[in-house]
A and B are shown apart, each in its own frame.
Chain A
């Protein structure tokens, strides 16, 4: 199998004011890889994704997506991308049908084609009956499913998923994980950010761990386990982010709960 570079990040730096959030990131992603992109809160994960999507434009370094420099002004690469944002932003006063057809059309799809596709996907995700209802009336899980559908509707080559499983029930999670695995086999590239280590460990073919704006680990799960001598991704995460006083803190918390000094 030939390695085809889908995403190439070189020397990426980004500051907000005086605070440097990304301190020189280098990543090469190949077709079909499922990247588990993890890190503590504020490590710079979302910023990286936002830069790749062109939502944040002032940065240092070079980024090529699908062979295209994202700063060239040509934004056609975005039509090959699907995105589930962590903040779950959505126009809630639209119905699912209105929202999904709108997004599809922005991707350049034909109205009737999106409509049909969206309805089928809603059905398969078990929320077909609310296709014509306003999103504001949806539960958390239903909203999240709608977002996921909006990210998949254009059959993207690259998927950026930021905590995509929030609020989704276990059965649907199983379906969605299976879908991701199949999409990866089809040659789609997936960039998966989450705090739930078990899911990341199971899904990802490669894990990139970000700490304080720098990559501190990059490899598949077995490699990481071998080098760090840890049994699970959770432990690796704790080790590499330098967090090892969880027992101590837990003890203090329990003490405060019980009201003893």
Chain B
């Protein structure tokens, strides 16, 4: 194990810890182990960039993820330098920081707060709980300070040079207060969730926060440049709105207004006070409630309450669209896995999120400057293909699972024919993952286009089906949930991706050009139906590939 430099600097305070009746060598050991474990874990922001090769090396994944926070930090530099409307600018900076810090704490550091192993492994050794708790607190502080430095460091330094030493000091003190507040807030949130729900529910909530974080980072990359076009900085007034009182970023922005711009209105003073008082008060509440937290933590290891067994709409649909019993079996199996596996959701749901977001973003982008009546007469509804274009790729995830080892059942079961497996799985993907997305996007488009494009949307949907078939045909055929997620990059090469992209592109072009001919769209529709029918008959009579 590495001896981290942060630990060596901690050694300077050894005497202080010993005075607090803390077993310093033991605490140092625990921290060293925790930091080593961190460096071997993949954080949510890096989720999509790691592959199997790196897994065994003792590379610091955490340090790599810091670069992403650093890039966000550069955006904050722009915000800080933008003008002298500190109140608004700093609200944005703090808002951004709060969002990322909070979601990161929940998605990646929930394990620190919620680790039950610590108790079992460490407290059975001669270590007092004060030492363990101090190790945990320091661990979170080390972690948050590193992220904070990456994210805030650039704007702190540049802002300090440009806006003066007073700016630097306020910023520095506030960011420390804000961090403490966020750590405590996260803890209290867990406390609240665990008070009313069981551990499973909490894990679900953490899972969804991870998904939101992934979507935000990816969509953020696309949008960040445009933020400044969309928002008119000078015209926004945040002060004296009632809802400003419940938005922490505004409190933390207020001291800049007070000290630097000499704005001493009542609301600025109240906000400034809240920026100081609320964090301190929340820390006190947290210390008081800590024992309750510890006892509720036991719920995590417990078995959740009896889950309801409700027949969902999707199963009814499955019974209609699946012809044979075997197909229905694998439809249900795939549906259940899609719904329940958190790692699967974490990998797939972000793509689904983009598929809702991008068509809308692109539509509004292309429609800017024209009236709604003008838009209706254009072919701007083709933007919906930003959903239909990306969705087929999701299919490749269906062969993967965090629990891929469970796939031994395929070998043990008397399966002669693989067709119903592939068919059932692909139908389940359609009904459970694609249909809701397409439905949401379609409804929004229908409203915008005043229900003039129903026939177009049907063609789009059929194209999506055909696109997915193309992906199935070209990509390696894996049995559902039979491989580790890490193998996904190796399974399909550049050629397959290129060809499938070209294939889907061709489908979109066919749609586009079919409208040039009279009744062309309907001819194409019939053609689609024939192609789908043929595919269903022959495409799935295949064996899984090694």
Interface residues of A (CB under 8 A from B): 53-55, 73, 75-79, 81, 83, 85, 87, 89-91, 93-94, 98, 102-103, 105-108, 134
Contact B126 A93 (CB under 8 A): no
Most A-side CB within 10 Å, residue of B117, B119, B121: B121
Contact A78 B124 (CB under 8 A): yes
Which residues of B sit under 8 angstroms from A134, Cβ to Cβ?
56
Q: Complex Cα distance A93/B34, Å?
A: 10
Number of A-B pairs whose CB atoms are under 8 Å? 66
- Asked if B527 is an interface residue, CB under 8 A from chain A, the answer is no
- Asked if B332 is an interface residue, CB under 8 A from chain A, the answer is no
- Asked if B282 is an interface residue, CB under 8 A from chain A, the answer is no
Q: A98-B36, A105-B29 are in contact. Are A91 and B123 (CB under 8 A)?
A: no
Contact A107 B1 (CB under 8 A): no
Which residues of B sit under 8 angstroms from A73, Cβ to Cβ?
128
Pick from A76, A89, A91: contact of B126, CB under 8 Å: A76
Pick from A77, A78, A81, A94: contact of B33, CB under 8 Å: A94
Q: Complex Cα distance A76/B26, Å?
A: 13
Pick from A75, A77, A89, A105: contact of B121, CB under 8 Å: A89
Contact A90 B117 (CB under 8 A): yes
A-contact 0/1 string along B115-146, CB 8 Å cutoff: 01101111111111000000000000000000
Chosen A-B contacts, 9 in total, with CB atoms closer than 8 Å, are A53-B123, A54-B124, A75-B128, A79-B126, A89-B121, A94-B36, A98-B36, A107-B125, A134-B56
Q: Complex Cα distance A89/B41, Å?
A: 18
Q: A89-B117, A90-B121 are in contact. Are A102 and B33 (CB under 8 A)?
A: yes
- Asked if B40 is an interface residue, CB under 8 A from chain A, the answer is yes
- Asked if B238 is an interface residue, CB under 8 A from chain A, the answer is no
Which residues of A sit under 8 angstroms from B128, Cβ to Cβ?
73, 75
Which residues of B sit under 8 angstroms from A54, Cβ to Cβ?
123-124
Identify which of residues 248-307 in chain B touch chain A, using a CB-to-CB cut-off of 8 Å.
301
Pick from B29, B56, B117, B120: contact of A106, CB under 8 Å: B29
Contact A75 B124 (CB under 8 A): no
Q: Separation in Å of the A78 CB from the closest CB of chain B?
A: 4
Interface residues of B (CB under 8 A from A): 1, 25-26, 29-30, 33, 36-37, 40-41, 56, 116-117, 119-128, 301
Of all A-B residue pairs in the complex, the 7 with the closest CB atoms, nearest first, are: A78-B126, A79-B126, A89-B117, A89-B120, A106-B125, A93-B40, A53-B124
Q: Complex Cα distance A22/B448, Å?
A: 66
Q: Complex Cα distance A105/B31, Å?
A: 13
Q: Complex Cα distance A79/B127, Å?
A: 9
Contact B36 A81 (CB under 8 A): no
Contact B126 A75 (CB under 8 A): yes
Q: Complex Cα distance A103/B26, Å?
A: 10
Q: Separation in Å of the A62 CB from the closest CB of chain B?
A: 20
Contact A91 B33 (CB under 8 A): yes
Most A-side CB within 10 Å, residue of B40, B124, B128: B124
Contact B116 A89 (CB under 8 A): yes
Which residues of B sit under 8 angstroms from A108, Cβ to Cβ?
126
Contact B33 A75 (CB under 8 A): no
Which residues of A sit under 8 angstroms from B1, Cβ to Cβ?
94, 98, 102
Which residues of B sit under 8 angstroms from A103, Cβ to Cβ?
121, 125
Q: Complex Cα distance A90/B40, Å?
A: 15
Which residues of B sit under 8 angstroms from A107, Cβ to Cβ?
125-126
Q: Separation in Å of the A47 CB from the closest CB of chain B?
A: 11
Q: Complex Cα distance A108/B24, Å?
A: 12
| CB-nearest residue of chain A to B118 | A89
Q: Complex Cα distance A78/B33, Å?
A: 21
Kindly list 11 other residue pairs between chains A and B, CB separation below 8 angstroms, not including A54-B124, A108-B126. A55-B119, A55-B123, A75-B127, A83-B124, A89-B121, A90-B121, A91-B117, A98-B36, A103-B125, A106-B122, A106-B125
Which residues of B sit under 8 angstroms from A81, Cβ to Cβ?
124
Contact A102 B126 (CB under 8 A): no
Most B-side CB within 10 Å, residue of A73, A98, A106, A108: A106
Q: Separation in Å of the A248 CB from the closest CB of chain B?
A: 26
Which residues of B sit under 8 angstroms from A106, Cβ to Cβ?
26, 29-30, 122, 125-127
Q: A78-B126, A107-B125 are in contact. Are A102 and B29 (CB under 8 A)?
A: yes
Q: Complex Cα distance A53/B125, Å?
A: 8
Q: Separation in Å of the B345 CB from the closest CB of chain A?
A: 22
Q: A94-B36, A98-B36, A107-B126 are in contact. Are A55 and B29 (CB under 8 A)?
A: no
Which residues of B sit under 8 angstroms from A89, Cβ to Cβ?
116-117, 120-121
Which residues of A sit under 8 angstroms from B41, Cβ to Cβ?
93
| CB-nearest residue of chain A to B119 | A55
| CB-nearest residue of chain A to B123 | A55
Pick from B37, B116, B122: contact of A94, CB under 8 Å: B37
Contact B125 A87 (CB under 8 A): no
Q: Separation in Å of the B3 CB from the closest CB of chain A?
A: 12
| CB-nearest residue of chain B to A147 | B121
Contact A87 B33 (CB under 8 A): no
Most B-side CB within 10 Å, residue of A73, A78, A89, A94: A89
| CB-nearest residue of chain B to A85 | B120
Q: Separation in Å of the A160 CB from the closest CB of chain B?
A: 8
| CB-nearest residue of chain A to B33 | A102
Q: Complex Cα distance A105/B123, Å?
A: 14
| CB-nearest residue of chain B to A58 | B295
Q: Complex Cα distance A81/B125, Å?
A: 8
Q: Separation in Å of the B27 CB from the closest CB of chain A?
A: 10
